[in-house]
Structure 1
């Protein structure tokens, strides 16, 4: 992506590179936190900080993804500032102690617990971004007759659907933790990463448009 940015001297590849880097950092952080829990048998400090940190990276990635889509589709300028403010507020809330990230339920019985609401806020925020972008893509697709542009917008739309599926799996995992005694990282998380991989593939193809794909579109 960075190579494409240098070649084309336009910003969308740079924005998308930042999105991919931030999501990769989020994934690495979650993996490190989970590894600590697996090897130690406890949800200790690294695990507890990895969750809010990873969610923060996702929020920032969502903002850059929105900027990328705004430039590509020419829509959504007025929504950018409210999204940035809303995202900043959620990031602050993520690091509040009342989330009890990784703390055994018995240790905070009877105390304020906002973890479910915080997690749902992250998911709601992401859904707002993805639904906005998906809507932009559908409208822009109807306004163009160019087959290559239509294909790119369709791929970007599919990437947003993949991220909606990604967070839907996190909702299922959060509900499983909240409603049962499940420790978390259920099978839903593994399905979530499949959606994440699809997001990377669809988003990359929507911007880069490799030669084989262009030839297939133009047939």
Structure 2
């Protein structure tokens, strides 16, 4: 198993555990995680059931292939999932475009050069999306390593809450370490991705 560690503010995020089948249900785990969190961080009592429900939902979906967090903002009034994956390969240009884009996007993505302490220079895209008549936002990150790629997806989250939870996600990524990850000197590729946003149409140029 790849060694991945995180350093973030306890109040900002709750790590989601991978549960063993038959040992603990997602609801049982969520109740314990909510109790531990609210013992250390003040959460209004009326918001605690929603917090516990979100934890149970993410625990039921958690897989060994990704690390998941529930981001918690504004005294638990803003909740959002953050999913992080580490690939043991360098994404091709087509794979980068596929990760950073979604067919449900209703506007061109907002591109951004980003940088994390241990992951180096990366690229991020923010998408406004619509599925089944529901509007929501996501933000995606890619960091490029030698023989590795780190990707992260924030959301789905209500568009008006995206700005609240983005700094929390950035904090988790900034303190993330991946054993053996060597950032590539990729300023040119990041600049290329920033300029590759298609202003008219629904795809990325690769």
TM over 0.5: no
Q: Which has the higher strand share?
A: 2
Q: Which has the higher helix share?
A: 1
Say which one has the larger Rg: 1
Larger RCO (CA within 8 A; separation ≥ 6): 2
